A and B are shown apart, each in its own frame.
Chain A
Amino acid sequence: MRQIDRRGLLSGLLFLAAGAAGWVLARNYAMGTALRMGPGYVPLGLSLILSGFGALLILRSMLLADEKTGTWNIRAIGFVLAGVLAFAGLIETGGLVAAIVALTVIASMGSQDSRPIEVVIAAIVMALFGALLFVRGLQLPIQIWPIWLQS
């Protein structure tokens, strides 16, 4: 295959898609005139320009030397983000302790050299520390324990 700049091509596609999405979503917003701009005027303009630059990047990538994106660390992405999402899902009903333990345990699997015993200790220490510092110390309005335990 001929050499192309893959990073440029992919980012170009990304910007083009974002611009197109911006255009499609904003097409029903009132456009207005230059004098009295409606809510759609600026978003439509920006989307158009963004797609233009996306297209430019795609064209340019055909001319430049190959730049690979490198390997994707799927394991880190998956577990770190899953941990954060678990925190988001648990914080309101499950309380801070459960949220921190879930975050720590799940996110730790994203690292290649995590050690199970260490993670358990870290989870307990951080949950205690978080609860003491943020809820007891800084008085943030966050539940410590699950709500079904409190009633």
Chain B
Amino acid sequence: MTELFSNLALGFAVAMTPENLFYCLIGTLLGTLIGVLPGIGPVATIAMLLPITFNLAPVGALIMLAGIYYGAQYGGSTTAILVNLPGESSSVVTCIDGYAMARQGRAGAALAVAALGSFFAGCVSTVLIAVFSPPLIAMAQKFGPYEYFSLMTFGLVAAVVLAHGSMVKAIAMVFLGLLLGLVGTDVNSGAQRYTFGIPELSDGIGFVPLAMGLFGFAEIIANLAEPERREFLAKKVRGLWPTMTDFKAAWPAVLRGTALGSLLGVLPGGGALLSAFAAYTLEKKIARDPSRFGKGAIEGVAAPESANNAGAQTSFIPMLTLGIPPNAVMALMVGAMTIHGIQPGPQVMGTRPELFWGMIASMWIGNLMLVIINLPLIGLWVKLLQVPYRLLYLAILMFCCIGVYSLNNSAFEVALTALFGLVGYVFIKFGCEPAPLLLGFILGPMMEENLRRAMLLARGDPSVFLTRPISLGLLTAAAALLLVVVLPAVRKTRDKAFQE
């Protein structure tokens, strides 16, 4: 306990330096700014703002990037409530009741509850990260290649199970991702794989071109196909404070949302998006009168908004402790850390305590800043939304191109991003979720390396994965997860078949 406090004290000492406070502020502001704009998710946001952090010290850079991430979550809800347009995919559910509240003239209350709920969730998840990281790190240090391989298998299974849409497609996307992850020089033998003799590919496909293409460019192309749909509220936002009845209805929802979000954020493939959806579903299920939802129920704003912020933050836990990113945003953070010469994994807390704890403390400060700064700035964010998409996408494209180019000063990677943009659009058209592919891509090389090391240590006997207790536990959990999802699906299709 005393250790926890001294650790947090160190963290705050680092995060409270004027310099780092400034980076935190800039990060949260930029994050909110981009979060407000529809059509750019957090992955593209962070990727395009990455070059801004190149010249900073590693601590400052990571503080700023983390700020961009949770700032983006926050900004997304503002647009959802005021314009019925989710700024981020994790705010899709907030639209339902948030916009309904706004139409009833309760926009202020909705915004305030979203902000305060997010802040509360941010505080809780900051503490959770601080409390659970050290024991997890202690455990991770005992992990061998067997455990790592099984853990990643579990991660991929969870990502498949949690992806929406067809499960077979999600599985195929994971395998395609794993395969793409193998492009480049094989670490063990030095052999070139799938490089087509292109020197730029010998280091593998860059994560940023892939993510920016699949998420950024593909989205832009898809958005251009649809006519613009924006509803503005003529009424001014006034009466920012929720009433006492609002508070009474909202706070249990905030608690539930925070708990659910914190839990789901840690899971691979989880994070903010899933947390928000799950929290909304839960509220609707346990509500005494579910028909209120969709007509401006304050719980329908409070729960998902708390949950997505909690999920966004706890997804840092696997990345910081195990070095395994649970979702695309964290993979990008891994990339950012590597650029600054830090190899994420269990050793970071021991070797760079100021970085580790400084980042955690900065999350709390950043959440506080968001509440204080953003409520007065809402008017500005709404103005920003009046920029028409025909101009907005040009600016987004410019930032994306410069962002990708400046990573390695490589024009090849910009062209590669264009290619993945095309592929991403095809995936959208075919109904294939890109998130599992990205997770497979990140974990592919790590899994192969651990598999090969494990087989070498076990003399080619694959049964070791089942005889090591932790590894067995993880694989059993993965199998159970698959069964839980497959069984009802099987039953459902059978029922349908019977009906016909």
**Interface residues, chain A, with chain B CB atoms under 8 Å away:** 7-8, 10-11, 14-15, 18-19, 22, 25-26, 29-30, 33-39, 41-43, 46-47, 49-50, 53-54, 56-57, 60, 67, 69-73, 76-77, 80-81, 83-85, 87-89, 91-92, 96, 99-100, 103-104, 107-108, 110-115, 118-119, 122, 126, 130, 134, 138-142
Contact = CB atoms under 8 A, between A and B. Distances in A.
A44 to B, nearest CB: 10
Given A53-B172, A57-B168, A83 B179 contact: no
Contacts of B432: 11
B266 interface: no
Contact of A30 (B52, B191, B414): B191
A77 B178 CA distance: 27
Contacts of B220: 76, 80
Nearest to A56: B168
B175 A50 contact: yes
Given A87-B414, A111-B393, A26 B172 contact: no
Contact of B182 (A34, A43, A83, A134): A43
Contacts of A107: 393-394, 397
A24 to B, nearest CB: 11
Contacts of B452: 37, 41-42
A84 B166 CA distance: 32
Given A57-B168, A87-B401, 12 more contacts: A10-B430, A42-B448, A53-B172, A67-B431, A73-B222, A80-B221, A81-B421, A84-B397, A88-B411, A113-B390, A134-B51, A142-B402
B417 interface: yes
B406 A140 contact: yes
A7 B429 CA distance: 8
Contact of B422 (A8, A19, A81): A81
A21 B391 CA distance: 40
A33 B398 contact: no
A71 B452 CA distance: 45
B144 interface: no
Contacts of B175: 15, 19, 46, 49-50, 53
Interface residues of B, number: 61
B193 interface: yes
Given A84-B417, A108-B390, A130 B221 contact: no
Interface string B379-410: 00000000001110111011001100110010
Given A14-B430, A42-B451, A113-B390, A76 B221 contact: yes
Nearest to A67: B431
A11 B395 CA distance: 32
Contacts of B179: 18, 22, 43, 46-47, 50
A50 B169 CA distance: 10
Contacts of B224: 73, 76, 80, 110-112
Interface in B174-203: 175-176, 178-179, 182, 186, 188-189, 191, 193-194
A108 B182 CA distance: 36
B172 A84 contact: no
B456 A36 contact: yes
Contact of A138 (B51, B169, B425): B51
A76 to B, nearest CB: 4
Contacts of B51: 134, 138, 140
B459 interface: yes
A39 B217 contact: no
A103 B401 contact: yes
Nearest to B430: A11
B127 interface: no
Given A11-B169, A35-B455, A57-B172, A81 B391 contact: no
Closest 8 A/B residue pairs (Cβ): A35-B460, A73-B225, A88-B414, A76-B224, A53-B172, A39-B186, A11-B430, A39-B191
B2 interface: no
Contact of B425 (A77, A85, A111): A77
Contact of A42 (B182, B394, B395, B422): B182
Contacts of A88: 401, 405, 411-412, 414-415, 418
Given A33-B460, A73-B224, A43 B194 contact: yes
Contacts of B402: 96, 130, 134, 140, 142
A77 B412 CA distance: 19
Contacts of B395: 122, 126
A143 B193 CA distance: 33
B35 to A, nearest CB: 20
A15 B176 contact: yes
B168 A60 contact: yes
Nearest to A26: B193
Contacts of A138: 51-52, 54-55
A104 B398 contact: yes
18 contacts: A15-B176, A34-B462, A37-B451, A50-B179, A57-B169, A81-B221, A81-B421, A81-B422, A84-B415, A84-B418, A84-B421, A87-B414, A91-B405, A91-B411, A107-B397, A108-B390, A115-B390, A140-B51
A134 B406 CA distance: 9
B65 interface: no
Contacts of A38: 189, 191
A50 B176 contact: yes
Contacts of B394: 103-104, 107-108, 119, 122, 126
A119 B401 CA distance: 18
B486 interface: no
B426 interface: yes
